[in-house]
């Protein structure tokens, strides 16, 4: 069956500068196995499938990486919303688009700067124990004392370094580091710079192979909450990511009057057409 298909650049500061996302619209009738197989074939970090909502949202999305399904992810949320709008989707409310995913209902707003989503609540927020932090330092190939601070933020180990230059200098150790290891690092830029922080995010696949993500909405949303709580930032601010993998991503972070974190950025349709699945 032929289905509408989009490839969206998310968070790019220009054409093809961000994190690409494959989106299959009209995904009703596809099995989990078919979705997983197609996501693996695209060879992108994530592929999403848009379905009819079950809980009164505007649409439902399922999010697949190369080897697993995720309940929520940041750049797939914004890219899927853009694909749904580009395919003719009309939200029930003028001021809000609601996306249903396995993690629940996520709100998306439109603004002059593009789309932005409301960050879900942290599922884990606690200090990182010293033995594990020593392991992380070893993987990043830095001394433990180079880590200014660290914290568990949902599924991410967040590591704060002294500055953006230190972040860009990181060369993680090669080899297999075990499955489900997600390390995010950040360091501040001088106050005069466009961006407040340089961010890098590393994740391991099911085989334990390490990969670097060019733009990670979920981690940046978690990171913003922690940085604000520890008085290391004020809102709004812009984070840079992807520099070491040939990208130029910009992620916009803000906080609403109720304390909620919003993360947004550009969403550009780069490819549109049909796919036979």
In sequence order, what are the beta bridge partners of 107? 98
**Number of compact structural domains in the chain:** 2
What distance in Å separates the CA atoms of residue 270 and residue 134, rounded to the nearest whole number? Answer: 42
Domain match, 107 and 15 both: yes
Domain match, 42 and 162 both: no
Domain match, 101 and 146 both: no
Task: Give me 255's structure tokens.
Answer: 């906080």
Q: Tell me, what's the pLDDT at 179?
A: 78
Helices (H), the chain: 32-42, 74-86, 130-140, 164-168, 217-229
Instruction: Write the pLDDT tens digit of every residue in 131-188.
Output: 999 999 999 999 999 999 999 999 999 999 999 999 999 999 987 787 789 999 999 9
Domain match, 111 and 164 both: no
Q: Tell me, what's the pLDDT at 242?
A: 98
Percent of the chain with pLDDT over 90: 90
What distance in Å separates the CA atoms of residue 73 and residue 89, rounded to the nearest whole number? Answer: 21
- Pairing outcome for strands 249-255 and 267-276: unpaired
Domain match, 56 and 114 both: yes
Domain match, 253 and 221 both: yes
The boundaries of the domain holding residue 25 are 2-119+264-276
Domain match, 132 and 200 both: yes
Domain match, 169 and 182 both: yes
Domain match, 69 and 148 both: no
Nearest Cα to Cα of residue 185 among 126, 136, 246: 136
Domain match, 242 and 134 both: yes
Which pTM was predicted? 0.95
In sequence order, what are the beta bridge partners of 3? 275
Instruction: Write the pLDDT tens digit of every residue in 214-259.
Output: 999 999 999 999 999 999 999 999 999 999 999 999 999 999 999 9
CATH of the domain at 211: 3.10.310.10
Domain match, 91 and 162 both: no
Which residues, 6 or more positions from 192, have their beta carbon under 8 angstroms from its beta carbon?
A: none
Domain match, 65 and 15 both: yes
């Amino acid at each position: 069956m032929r289905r509408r298909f989009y490839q969206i650049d998310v968070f790019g500061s220009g054409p093809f500068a961000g994190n690409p996302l494959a989106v299959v619209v009209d995904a009703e009738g596809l099995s989990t196995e078919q979705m997983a197989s197609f996501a693996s074939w695209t060879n992108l970090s994530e592929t999403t499938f848009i379905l009819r909502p079950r809980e009164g949202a505007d649409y439902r999305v399922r999010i697949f990486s190369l080897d697993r399904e995720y309940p929520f992810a940041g750049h797939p949320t914004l890219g899927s919303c853009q694909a749904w709008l580009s395919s003719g989707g009309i939200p029930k409310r003028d001021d809000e688009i609601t996306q249903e995913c396995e993690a629940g209902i996520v709100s998306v707003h439109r603004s002059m700067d593009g789309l932005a989503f409301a960050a879900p609540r942290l599922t884990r927020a606690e200090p990182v124990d010293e033995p594990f932090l020593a392991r992380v330092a070893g993987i990043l190939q830095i001394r433990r004392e180079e880590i200014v601070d660290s914290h568990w933020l949902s599924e991410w180990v967040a590591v704060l370094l002294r500055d953006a230059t230190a972040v860009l200098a990181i060369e993680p150790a090669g080899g297999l580091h075990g499955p489900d290891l997600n390390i995010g690092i950040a360091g501040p830029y001088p106050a005069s710079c466009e961006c407040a922080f340089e961010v890098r995010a590393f994740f391991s696949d099911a085989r334990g192979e390490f990969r670097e993500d060019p733009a990670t909405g979920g981690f940046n949303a978690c990171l913003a909450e922690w940085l604000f709580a520890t008085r290391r930032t004020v809102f709004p601010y812009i984070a840079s990511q992807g520099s070491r993998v040939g990208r130029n991503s910009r992620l916009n972070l803000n906080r609403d009057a109720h304390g909620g974190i919003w993360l947004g950025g550009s969403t550009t349709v780069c490819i549109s057409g049909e796919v036979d699945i």
